Every structure is written in C-alpha cells, then in structure tokens.
Structure 1
C-alpha cells in the first residue's frame, strides 16, 4: 500500500513514504545534538553557555544551528530577558516536552547497550 504524503493534507501520515513530511521531523529528532539538547533542557530552561558545557564537544556554531532548528519547528522556545548583558534562555515547549521522554529512552538504551555493541564490533 502506498501513501501520497506529498501535500501533508490527509489524516494518516506514513513515515515510510518517500515524500511524507514526517521524515524531516524524524531526521531532525534523530540528530545526536538535537536529542542531547532536548535532554539537557528537560529540567528547565538553560542559557546557551550552560547548554554548551553540558553538550561536551559541540561547537557554538553547531549548537546555534541546532537550537534554531528546534525553535523553528516548535520544540524549543527562546526567551530574551532585557538586561545588560542580554540574558537568553532556551526551554522546551509542550511539543518539546512531549518528545523528551521517548528520546530519553533512546539515550538510556544506548548507555545500557554500548558495551554490547562495542564488543560485537570487535568480533
């Protein structure tokens, strides 16, 4: 059965369909930095510097791009507080919080199984 997902204007989406817009969201959320950034904000809004320290190894450019993509697609809110210097915080929206739990399960699964995976690579 094929599904025409080119318009996105139907009741049932099929992430396996070539043109389904779901694929873009899957790609966005499957990105390691997006999954880690969402996890880092689960306990509440974070400043850019705090996120960068938490996400060891991410460059400022990649963090900026990741946060913008998540904000553009409704997973993250950016709040600017008028102060000198400017105080900016990034926090999860309701949509972001709704995906945080399933992504948390994926992160936990990876931590629980990394030794098995690494031992199989050497087999």
Structure 2
C-alpha cells in the first residue's frame, strides 16, 4: 500500500513557511500532496496549531489517500466503497470566473459566478 496525505492551506499562509515549489497554488489555496513520512507534515501541523492558538487557521482541508496494488486488492477480504456527491478540482481552479467584490476576503464565500463553468474532468490542472 502507498499512503499519502493531501493538505490544503490558505495560499498566503503557505507562502510564510513552505518553499514555492511545494504543492500547487490556485487562487486562495495551495494543495500539497506528501508521503506520510515527509517531515513537512509535522511542520504544517505545528504551523496550523500555532495559527489556531491565535484564533485563525492555516489548514483548510486534509485527507489521507491509500493506493493498493492489484495483488493487495485481490487478497482483501473486505472493500469499502465511498461515493461522494462532489468532484475536484473546483470550477475556479479550472478557470471559471467569479465576481468576488462582495465575497469573504478570507475564504471567498459569496462570490458570484460571472462566466461559464470551466471543468477539468481528469483532475487538477498542472502548471
């Protein structure tokens, strides 16, 4: 099994301590995908804990991903299927244009879509 963790941080917070080549930055967020033994995980955790002590946050999302070999799947006695009612990346990450003049300056809530929805069915666009 190969195990990784996906972490999303506010982009301005990530710029304070992460090297610019770590992760992919889109609009307000930076998406970072790391192996579970990467020392950056501990740095991100400590940074987020410090922000929380100050009444703020840095990490907006995290999820552990597990990839299994075909042999591991054949030997499994039980499989868990998770069906989620959403997809990624977001339209904004693919180029959908929003009017953010009345949106929350921190998270973007309340932005109004002003252009056609752009969608990348194969996942996050690469730089």
- TM-score, scaled to structure 2: 0.23
More strand by share: 2
More helix by share: 1
- TM-score, scaled to structure 1: 0.24
* Greater RCO (CA < 8 Å, at least 6 residues apart): 2
